[in-house]
Structure 1
Amino acid sequence: MSVVSLLGVNVLNNPAKFGDPYEFEITFECLEPLQKDLEWKLTYVGSATSDEHDQELDSLLVGPIPVGVNKFIFEADPPKTNKIPDAEILGVTVILLTCAYDSREFVRVGYYVNNEYDSEELNADPPAKPILEKIRRNVLAEKPRVTRFAIKWDSEASAPPEFPPDQPEADLVADGDQYGADEAEEEEEEEVEEGGEAAPDAMAEDAEMAGAEGEGAIAAGEVSDDGSEDLEADSSGSEDEELEEEEVEGEGEGDDAMEVDGVEKPNGASGVEHHMDEVMVH
């Protein structure tokens, strides 16, 4: 997060003559106390094809910066015409307003500037040698291009590192001496319990329980058979029907026996804008 945020820039004298100074009303917010000043600069791009004609019109140090919203007036001198080619004086160019902290730029505001004569006759037929007194500039203040850069501020530079500090005493004991010792003891105890012989009393109790379960199952089967015979006798009264039902019951028991023996059943089958942009990037 940026400690200083640019809230707004107003171009005060616009439009103006080519030789008039630039004036900006700058409003920004500071969230934390700063140890150093903010450096504001205004640069004039003299040519769209080369940076050799760029001019730093003025710079200003602002500080100390109080926490909160701040506002000031930044005034810069006009560009020197002897450093601008005659063919580049008229037309569209760019000015760059930048701010840096500790020589680290964190915000840049670019404006298009249109330079033209103040009369239609001169604009229709401009002279070979520009008449500077009759040229006026118009800053397109309604369409600025703001670029922000992430930098390190005072609070971030003095912040402690995120990783934990070194612990040299932690490396004095080898990992193999302690790592997994508790797990090994537990595994040995489990092996002794599983490999030991079962007690005779426990075996006898298991056998008695198994016998009791078998008798209970048979008894339950007899009760169910008797009940079914009585119901069938009352409803039908035919011995042939009883024989057929017994045969059907026998076949079902055979299927159960086959499944228990492990025999598997078969399964079924399964399926000018370009020019202006170049100036701004420059």
Structure 2
Amino acid sequence: MSKVQINNVVVHNNPAMFKSDFHFDITFDCMENLVDDLEWKLTYVGSAESQSYDQVLDTIYVGPVAEGRHMFTFQADPPNPDLIPKADIIGATVVLLTCSYHEQEFIRVGYFVNNEYESDELRENPPETPNISVIHRSIMADQPRVTRFKINWGDQASQEPTGEEMMNEDGELQQAVLDTDSMLEPLPSAFKDVHSMDETSNVEMEMAF
């Protein structure tokens, strides 16, 4: 059983311009104390043709984490359009919110993203070089795709792979479980006021019981 479960994700600043920051409020439950950090990462998929175009927009570390419910705000810069193939800037793509413990990814929340021009004229006759300043970004916040991976939280012996398990890109054993729960419920009002963990950090977090 996973020791961390995402309770809710709220997508802010949506829709927005392509060059706008990403902004998520994330609520998660920790089933027992974790002595090490959780690594949260936001990745923009630049092209379906190759992972080499993926851009990690930001990585943040939260921890140690006490048992209970927590909330934090994750803000990240938009992707660099110069690193995206011109043919893939307009249209549909994906942004991935992932969390890892001890360098083992255990949950991934994916959102479809649609980038398009607002005016009919530009949609019908798009410029050869995309005009980033007038491209609008829309995240399909009501249709997240959640994938969970079985990992070793540090209190179990290594096991041999089974037919339903797979290796990640680092050669670590993971078991994927697809979950299409929409996580549509709004955040409880008690989570509205949060305090900053670090003045220089883009993470805000609170304990809530």
- Asked whether the two chains share a fold, i.e. TM above 0.5, the reply is yes
* Residues 129-183 of structure 1: per-residue CA shift (max 9 Å, x gap): 11111001000010010000111113436xxxxxxxxxxxxxxxxxxxxxxxxxx
Once the 2 structures are TM-superposed, how far is the Cα of residue 103 of structure 1 from its aligned partner? 0.3
List alignment gaps of at least 5 residues for structure 1.
158-282
| Structure 1 residues 58-207: aligned runs within 5 Å | 58-156=58-156
Alignment-derived partner of residue 43 in structure 2: 43
Distance 1:121 1:2 in 2: 50
What secondary structure is seen at the aligned counterpart in 1 of 2:52? helix
- The TM-score normalised by the length of structure 2 is 0.73
Alignment-derived partner of residue 223 in structure 1: none
Alignment-derived partner of residue 18 in structure 1: 18
The answer to which structure has the higher helix fraction is 1
* Residues 182-239 of structure 1: per-residue CA shift (max 9 Å, x gap): xxxxxxxxxxxxxxxxxxxxxxxxxxxxxxxxxxxxxxxxxxxxxxxxxxxxxxxxxx
* Residues 52-82 of structure 1: per-residue CA shift (max 9 Å, x gap): 2111111000112121010000011110011
Distance 2:147 2:79 in 1: 23
| Structure 1 residues 48-59: aligned runs within 5 Å | 48-59=48-59
| Structure 1 residues 195-234: aligned runs within 5 Å | none
Alignment-derived partner of residue 29 in structure 1: 29
| Structure 1 residues 226-265: aligned runs within 5 Å | none
Distance 1:150 1:123 in 2: 43
Distance 2:123 2:143 in 1: 24
Amino acid at match of 1:78: P
Distance 1:120 1:60 in 2: 39
**Does residue 9 in structure 1 map to residue 9 in structure 2?**
yes
Once the 2 structures are TM-superposed, how far is the Cα of residue 25 of structure 1 from its aligned partner? 0.4
List alignment gaps of at least 5 residues for structure 2.
158-209
Q: Which has the higher contact order (CA 8 A, sep 6+)?
A: 2
For the pair shown, the structure with the greater C-alpha radius of gyration is: 1
Distance 1:102 1:36 in 2: 8
Contact 1:34 1:154 in 2 (8 A): no
- C-alpha root-mean-square deviation of aligned residues, in Å? 1.0
Contact 2:35 2:63 in 1 (8 A): no
Once the 2 structures are TM-superposed, how far is the Cα of residue 6 of structure 1 from its aligned partner? 0.8
Contact 1:2 1:150 in 2 (8 A): yes
How many pairs are equivalent? 157
Distance 1:37 1:146 in 2: 21
What secondary structure is seen at the aligned counterpart in 2 of 1:70? strand
Amino acid at match of 1:61: Y
Amino acid at match of 2:113: V
- The TM-score normalised by the length of structure 1 is 0.55
Distance 2:127 2:112 in 1: 24
Distance 2:65 2:12 in 1: 23
Distance 1:12 1:114 in 2: 15
Distance 1:156 1:28 in 2: 23
What secondary structure is seen at the aligned counterpart in 2 of 1:129? coil
Identity of aligned residues (%): 54
Distance 1:81 1:150 in 2: 34
